Structure 1
Amino acid sequence: MVAQSLSSLLERATIEDHEEVLKSCNEALKKSKNDQTAQHIKAIALLKLDRFDDALRVFEGAGDALKTTASVEYAYTLYKCGKLEKALDIVTSSGAGRGAQHLEAQVSYRAEKFQRAADLYEQLYQDQASYHEANDLGINSWATDAQLQWKGEPEYVRHERPSREDLESFETAYNAACLSIAKGEFAQGEVLLKRAKNICETSEELSPEDRAAELLPIAVQYLYVLLRLGKTEQAEALLEEISVEDIPELSTKKIARNNIVLARQTNVNPYILYKALHEIPESINNDRLFDFQSNILVGNSHATDLLVQKFDGIIRSTNKALSKSPCPSTAANVNLLSVYNAAAQAEGQTGYKALRKILPLLERRPKDLGLLLTVVQLYVSEGNTTSAITTMERSLQALEESVSEADHEARFNPGLLSALVSLYQLEGRKLQIRTALAQAAKYWRNKSNTPASLLRAAATSLLHSDDKADLTTAGELFKGLYQQDPHDRLAIAGYIASHATLNYSQVESQLEQLPEVNELIADVDVSALESAGIMPSASAAAAAAAAFAGARKRTAADKESRSRAKRVRKSRLPKDYDPEKKADPERWLPLRDRSSYRPKGKKNKQRASDRTQGGPVSEKTEEATANVAQKASGGGSSNAKKNKKKGKR
Structure 2
Amino acid sequence: MGKENLTQLLSQLNVQSTQEDSCEVEKICKELLKNGCENPGFILRACLVAVIKQDRYKSSLEILKQNKDIDDKYGEEFILEKLYVFYKLDATHEFEALYSKINPPPLESFGKANNRGILHVRAQFCYKQGLYEEAFKIYNLLAKHNGDLIDNDLELACNERVPLTAMPDIINDSTILSQVNEESYDLLLNDSMILSARGKYDEAIELLEQAYKIAKREGYDRDQEAIGLQLAFVLQMKGDNKASHIHLQELVSLLKQGGRKSPFTLLARMNEKSFADLSKYNDNLNLSIRELDFKTLDSMKSKQFTREQWTVINRNRLILHLFNNNSVQYGSSLLSRSLHNYSNLVNDVIFESYKTQAKKLYHHAVQMINSGVNGSVIGFLIITVQLLVVEKQWQNAIAVCELYLNKLANSTSQVDTVEHHAVCYILFELYKITGRDHSKSVLLKNLTNGKKTISKDVPFWKHVGFQHLSLGNIKDAKKLFKQVFAYDSDKALEKVIFDTTLDVDESQDITQNIDVEKLLLQGIKCLETSNKLESKQHISKVQKKRINLKKQKKKEQRLKKFLQTHGSTKNVDPERWLPLKDRSSYRPKKKQSLTKQTQGGAMNKKAEQALDITNKLKKTVPTTRRKKGHK
What interval of TM-score do these two structures reach, taking the shorter chain for normalisation?
A: 0.5 to 0.7
Question: How far is the alpha carbon of 1:338 from its aligned partner?
Answer: 6.0
Equivalent residue letter for 1:272: L
Partner Cα distance (1:167, 1:102) in 2:
22
Where do 1:64-213 residues align within 5 Å? 64-88=72-96, 90-91=98-99, 93-95=103-105, 97-131=115-149, 133-148=152-167, 155-156=169-170, 168-179=183-194, 192-203=207-218, 211-213=220-222
Q: Which structure exhibits the higher relative contact order, with contacts defined as CA atoms closer than 8 Å and separated by 6 or more residues?
A: 2
Aligned to 2:561: none
Letter of the structure 2 residue corresponding to residue 21 of structure 1: V
What amino acid is the match of 1:450?
Answer: K
Q: 1-side partners of 2:116 and 2:348: how far apart?
A: 54
How far residue 402 of structure 1 moved from its aligned partner, in angstroms, is 4.6
Deviations 1:486-517 (A, max 9, x none): x56666666668xxxxxxxxxxxxxxxxxx64
Q: 37-46 or 95-104: which moved more?
A: 95-104
Residue 391 (structure 1) aligns with = 400
Q: What is residue 258 of structure 1 aligned with on the other side? A: 270
Q: What's the CA shift string for 1:410-439, capped at 9, x where partnerless? A: 575322221111112223333433443454
Where does residue 241 of structure 1 map in the other structure?
254
| Structure 1 residues 34 and 202: CA distance shift in structure 2, 3 A | same
Taking a change above 3 Å as real, the CA distance of residues 341 and 105 of structure 1, as seen in their structure-2 partners, is: farther
Please tell me whether the aligned partners of residues 41 and 74 of structure 2 are also in contact (alpha carbons under 8 angstroms).
yes
For residues 269 and 346 of structure 1, what CA distance do their matches in structure 2 show?
A: 15
For 1:571 and 1:223, how far apart are their aligned partners in 2?
A: 75
| Structure 1 residue 109: Cα displacement | 0.5
Q: Is 1:91–1:103's contact at 8 Å kept on the other side of the alignment?
A: no
Amino acid at match of 2:252: L
CA distance in 2, matches of 1:122, 1:385: 50
State the 1:164 CA deviation.
11
Of the candidates 396, 413, 429, which is equivalent to residue 420 of structure 2? Answer: 413
1:36 maps onto 2:54 in alignment: no
Residue 287 of structure 1 is matched in structure 2 by 303
- 572-581 or 360-369, larger mean C-alpha shift: 572-581
Q: Which moved more, 1:69-78 or 1:266-275?
A: 266-275
CA contact (8 A) 2:468 2:476 kept: no
Equivalent of residue 272 in structure 1, options 287, 307, 327: 287
Contact 2:57–2:88, Cα closer than 8 Å, also in 1 = yes
Alpha-carbon separation, structure 1, partners of 2:88 and 2:30: 23
Letter aligned with residue 270 of structure 2: N
CA separation in 1, counterparts of 2:589 and 2:269?
89
CA shift in 2, pair 1:389/1:94, >3 Å: same
Does the 8 A contact of 2:124 with 2:135 survive in 1?
A: yes
2:362 to 359, 362, 368: 359
From 582, 596, 614, the counterpart of 1:571: 582
Over the matched positions of the two proteins, sequence identity in percent amounts to: 18
Q: 2: distance between equivalents of 1:543 and 1:355?
A: 31
Residue type of the partner of 2:154? N
Residues 237/285 of structure 1: CA separation in 2 closer, same or farther (3 Å cut): closer
Alpha-carbon separation, structure 2, partners of 1:165 and 1:441 = 48
Distance in structure 2 (CA, Å) of the matches to 1:482 and 1:242:
48
Using the TM superposition, give the Cα deviation of residue 75 of structure 1 relative to its aligned residue in structure 2, in angstroms: 1.6
- The one-letter amino acid of 1:362's match is A
Deviations 1:68-125 (A, max 9, x none): 3433332222111111354245446322643333222211110012232233333333
Partner in structure 2 of residue 45 of structure 1:
50
Distance 1:415 1:240, change over 3 A: same
Q: Which runs of 5+ in 2 are unaligned?
A: 1-10, 106-113, 517-525, 537-578, 594-631
Secondary structure of the residue aligned to 2:317 is: helix
Residue 50 of structure 1 aligns to which amino acid in structure 2?
Answer: D
Name the CA shift for 1:245/1:39 in 2 (closer, same or farther; >3 Å).
Answer: farther
CA deviations over 1:19-51 (Å, ceiling 9, x no partner): 343344334322238722222222222222322
Alpha-carbon deviation of 1:344? Answer: 7.0
Distance (Å, rounded) in 2 between the aligned partners of 1:417 and 1:79: 39
Q: Distance in 1 between matches of 2:339 and 2:187?
A: 33
Distance (whole Å) between structure 2 residues aligned to residue 216 and residue 362 of structure 1: 45
Would the alpha carbon gap of residues 234 and 105 (structure 1) be closer, same or farther in structure 2, given more than 3 Å must change? closer
Q: Secondary structure at the match of 2:254?
A: coil
Asked if the contact 1:121–1:140 (Cα under 8 Å) also holds between the matched residues in 2, the reply is yes
**Amino acid across the alignment from 2:357:** A
Match of 1:450 in 2: 456
Query: Following the alignment from structure 2 to structure 1, what is the Cα–Cα distance between the partners of residues 25 and 434?
Result: 74
Counting only pairs closer than 5 Å after superposition, residues 316-331 of structure 1 correspond to structure 2 as 317-318=328-329, 320-321=330-331, 324=332
Shift of 1:58: 3.8
Asked whether the equivalents of residues 252 and 265 of structure 2 are also in contact (C-alpha less than 8 Å), the reply is: no
Change in Cα spacing, 1:285 to 1:370, as seen in structure 2 (3 Å) is closer
**Contact 1:283 1:289 (C-alpha < 8 Å) held by counterparts:** no
Alpha carbons 2:123, 2:135 under 8 Å: kept:
yes
Equivalent position amino acid for 1:144 in 2:
P
Higher alpha-carbon deviation: 417-426 or 89-98: 89-98
Structure 1's unaligned 5+ residue stretches are: 1-9, 149-153, 326-330, 498-515, 546-567, 583-649
In 1: Cα distance, 2:481 partner to 2:202 partner: 37
Instruction: Tell me if structure 1 keeps the 8 A contact 2:365–2:400.
Output: no
Name the amino acid aligned to 2:242.
G
Give distance in 2, aligned partners of 1:113 and 1:176: 20
Deviation at residue 376 of structure 1 after TM alignment: 1.9
Contact 1:170 1:200 in 2 (8 A): yes
C-alpha distance in structure 1 between counterparts of 2:169 and 2:122, whole Å: 22
Instruction: State the AA in 2 paired with 1:523.
Output: E
Alpha-carbon separation, structure 2, partners of 1:440 and 1:164: 45
Code of the residue aligned with 2:133 in structure 1: it is Q
For 1:258, the aligned partner's letter is M
Could you tell me which amino acid in structure 2 is paired with residue 453 of structure 1? P
Instruction: Return the alpha-carbon distance in structure 2 between the equivalents of residues 258 and 141 of structure 1.
Output: 29
- The normalised TM-score by structure 1 is 0.61
Contact preservation (8 Å) 1:171, 1:196: yes
Where 1:72 maps in the other structure, the secondary structure is helix
- After superposition, residues 213-612 of structure 1 pair within 5 angstroms as 213-221=222-230, 229-231=241-243, 235-243=248-256, 251-252=263-264, 254-256=266-268, 258-259=270-271, 269-278=284-293, 280-281=295-296, 282-283=298-299, 286-287=302-303, 289-291=305-307, 293-305=309-321, 309=324, 311=325, 313-314=326-327, 317-318=328-329, 320-321=330-331, 324=332, 346-366=349-369, 367=373, 368-402=377-411, 405=413, 407-408=414-415, 413-440=420-447, 445-446=452-453, 450-459=456-465, 461=467, 475=479, 477-478=480-481, 480-484=483-487, 487=489, 517=501, 520-525=503-508, 570-571=581-582, 577=588
Equivalent pair of 1:460/1:474 in contact (CA under 8 Å): no
**Residues 18 and 376 from structure 1, CA distance in 2 versus in 1: closer, same or farther, beyond 3 angstroms?**
same
Q: Aligned pair in 2 of structure 1 residues 54, 291: CA closer, same or farther (>3 Å)?
A: closer
Matching residue's letter, 2:403: R
